Structure formats: structure tokens, C-alpha cells
Amino acid sequence: MNLKFVRDNPDEARRVLELRRCKVDLDRILALDDERRALVKERDERRHEQKELSLKVSVAKRAGEQCDELVTKARELSDKVKELETRLAAVEAEQEALARMLPNTVHPSVTAEEEVVAEHGQKPEFGFKPLAHWDLGEALDILDFKTSAALAGSRFVVFKGAGAALQRALIAFFLDRARRNGYTEVGVPVLANPECLEGAGQLPHMEGEMYALRDDPLCLIPTSETMLANLHRKQSLDESELPKKYVAYTLCFRREAGSYGKDVRGMVRIHQFDKVELFRYTRPEDSYAALEEMRAEAEALVRELGIPYRTKRLAAWDIAYQSAKTYDIEAWAGGAGQWLEISSISNCEDYQMRRTATRLRTASGTGYPHALNGSALALPRTYVALIENNQQQDGTILVPEALRPYLGGLERIG
């Protein structure tokens, strides 16, 4: 949703905002737009007159003629233009501030209610009382929450020994699968400037959720989506180059402001986590097929790890600002007995592409590509589900077949 959309379809815009439970003052935006257009029109007309006079001055000076009168008149027009520009700037500033708050539209299939669209696997049956990962991890000395608290505070974790290797194995496994699926791996900065954050849609809405640096105008990225959405910033992509498929492994950082008291134990909600992120640039007509492919790719990973999961199509009010349709994959973690969101797959359509000025050239003209992102997969939580579900009576953890090649053939932790 952008200014043009709001102007052309005010009723539809109102409906979407309501569906998303999003409060933006549409009437004010529309009123400002009328004002803006009137100012632009007058400014352009005055400037046109001024330029014509300017040309006459030029001709007169060449001919050595007197032209003080023309100059005086031109100066008046110039002043008038400056005044109009000042007023216009104020109107545009207010309008842009409001327009930045506009979320994406939603896909017709996205309703006010969420819907479970897939379920797979059996929840594990234990012949004993299973441990939650915080107890299991400390018992095996692979997770250490005491040390992490001493190093950085609450909501961090220290991985040790085979526990650290398991984390790395998961990352390598995810990256390998993405490569097999035709993704190009990219390594990107984890510090982002405000333009990138704004372009990807993290600003202004996630402002308080990110870590800002004290001495530089940079933030630690909350997800590599921020970077991947800006990879072709201010570029024009040719239709023949699409789809572009990228995968990035990065750390992600979130302040988790406002979640005090929620998921405090263990590493279900921590400030720094690892994530392998898929990202695609597609032609607009291909994006929803791509969304289903990416969902299938992410689900395949969870299946290969033997983790029971369910996939939800999120409700309109629950999806991110930049997204038009989102699936969440939730993994079952049998120790603490809870569903954990381990992947979020979204079609952001052209929302980010407009904001990052990433254009698309086609035979019939120019437009914007569509952008999709999806975790495949997010760490700590996948890790949590894996170790909780695979714990054995003797206190060890069985390593799934798929991961053993990444752990030197290790079958068991503990």
C-alpha cells in the first residue's frame, strides 16, 4: 500500500487497515494530498514563467540591451517559487511521515482468522519425564545460561562442546539444502543504516526492537531480510534475470522490549540468534507460486530433522507490516511441551521494492519485482525442538541422520 494506492482506492485502503488492526489517519493523508497537488501545480507554473523570463534576460544581455525590468520581475517570481517550495516541503514532510506508516495490502486469501494449512509428524512419546531444554542442556553441559548471564545479561546463551558443534551443524545443513535448491549464498553486514531498515520495512515500526549503536547511525539487524531486501537497492533488474534466489546466514539481534516475563527461561526468546534466511526476487505474476515453493522448502527441512510441525497461514492482523501473506511453521518441542515458531515465510509483493527503489524492466515497460523472504530455518528454537524431542532415557540426545555428516558422524550427544 502506498500513497497512490490510497488515493486511487480509499475504500479498499480503509478495509485493509481495519483488517490489519492498523491505525493510520487516512483522511489526513488524503487532505494533505489535495493540498500538495495544488501547491505543485502553482509552483510549476510560476517556475515556468520564471524560466521564460530568464531566457529573455539571456537573449537581451547578449544583444547588449537593458533588462533591469525583466530581472526585477524574474526575482519576484523566484521569491514566490521559494515560498511555495517551503510550504510544499512542510506538506510533503507530514504526508510522508504518515505514508511511511502504511502497511502492505493483504492477499485476498488472508482473512481475519488464522488457518492451519499443514500438520506433519507425531509428537514424541517418552517413557520417562522429558526435560525442558534448559535443564537438559545444562545437564549435558552443552548450554550454559549462568555464564551467558554473567557475560551479557539475561536472554543470552553460551553453547559448549558438542552443543556448539550442533548449532554449527544445523547452519551448515540449512545452507547446503538452500544451495541444492538453487539459492546463491551471500554474506552480509549485520549492521544496517537507516535507509536499509526503512526500505525493508523495519523502520519505523520496529524502531524500539532494534539495538542502535551509540556513536554511529547504525542498527544491529533484527533479521538478514533487512539486507537481502536491499541487495539491489536503486538498481533496475531485467525480467530475464528473475527469479533471483539468495540465502544468507547471519546473526540476528532483537531487544525483545515489551516481552518482559515472557519465555524467560532457556533460549526460546533471546537477544541474539542465528538464522538462515531465504530470499527471492520474482516477477509479480510468479510470486505466489514462489511463496508455496519456499514454504515447501522450509517444511522439508523440518521433516528431514524429524521434528513434528504445523504450518499456519497467519491472520491479517498478525502479519508483518511489509507482508501481504505469511505462513508460520511451528515446531513441537516435547520437553517443555510447546509449539515454537521456527520459520516465517512472507510474500511482501512490491512493498520493499518500492521502498528500496528496486525496479523491474520488462518488455512492456518498468515496474517493481516482488520480494519474498522465509526462514529456513531459525536457530535456537529449531535446536530446542531437536534436543527436547530426541532426548533419551539415559539422558543423551540422539542426533538425526541428516545432521550426522555435519558432526563427523556423531550419533549421540552426552
Residue 54 found at the interface with RNA (CB under 7 A): yes
Cell of 283: 516477477
Residue 41 found at the interface with RNA (CB under 7 A): yes
Q: How far apart are CA 404 and CA 400, in angstroms?
A: 7
Residue 57 found at the interface with RNA (CB under 7 A): yes
Q: Give the residue with the Cβ less far from RNA, 23 or 62.
A: 62
Residue 4 found at the interface with RNA (CB under 7 A): yes
Out of 21, 37, 123, 265, point to the residue binding RNA (CB under 7 A): 37
Residue 154 found at the interface with RNA (CB under 7 A): no
Residue with cell 551443524: 169
Task: For the beta carbon of residue 34, count every other beta carbon within 10 angstroms.
Answer: 11
Cell of 264: 524467560
Least CB distance from residue 13 to RNA, whole Å?
16
Q: Give the residue with the Cβ less far from RNA, 37 or 265.
A: 37
β-pair partners for 247: 185, 278
Q: Give the residue with the Cβ less far from RNA, 75 or 123.
A: 75
What does DSSP say about strands 365-367 and 412-413: parallel, antiparallel, or unpaired?
A: unpaired
Residue 392 found at the interface with RNA (CB under 7 A): no
**What residues contact residue 34 under an 8 Å CB cut-off, 6+ apart?**
none
Q: Give the residue with the Cβ less far from RNA, 92 or 209.
A: 92
Q: Give the residue with the Cβ less far from RNA, 4 or 123.
A: 4
Helix (H, G, I), strand (E, B) or coil at 267: coil
Cell of 272: 541474539
Q: Give the residue with the Cβ less far from RNA, 60 or 410.
A: 60
**What residues contact residue 119 under an 8 Å CB cut-off, 6+ apart?**
309, 310, 311
Listed ranges 39-47, 111-119, 280-288, 390-398: which one lies at the site for RNA (CB under 7 A): 39-47
Least CB distance from residue 7 to RNA, whole Å?
7
Listed ranges 71-79, 154-162, 163-171, 291-299: which one lies at the site for RNA (CB under 7 A): 71-79
Question: 228, 378, 408, 247: which is closest to 305 by C-alpha?
Answer: 378
Using CB under 7 A as the binding rule, the residues of this chain from 212 to 251 that contact RNA are 236
Question: 174, 232, 178, 238: which is closest to 200 by C-alpha?
Answer: 232
Q: Which residues bind RNA (CB under 7 A)?
A: 4, 37, 40-41, 43-45, 47-48, 50-51, 53-55, 57-58, 61-62, 71, 74-75, 77-78, 236, 365-366
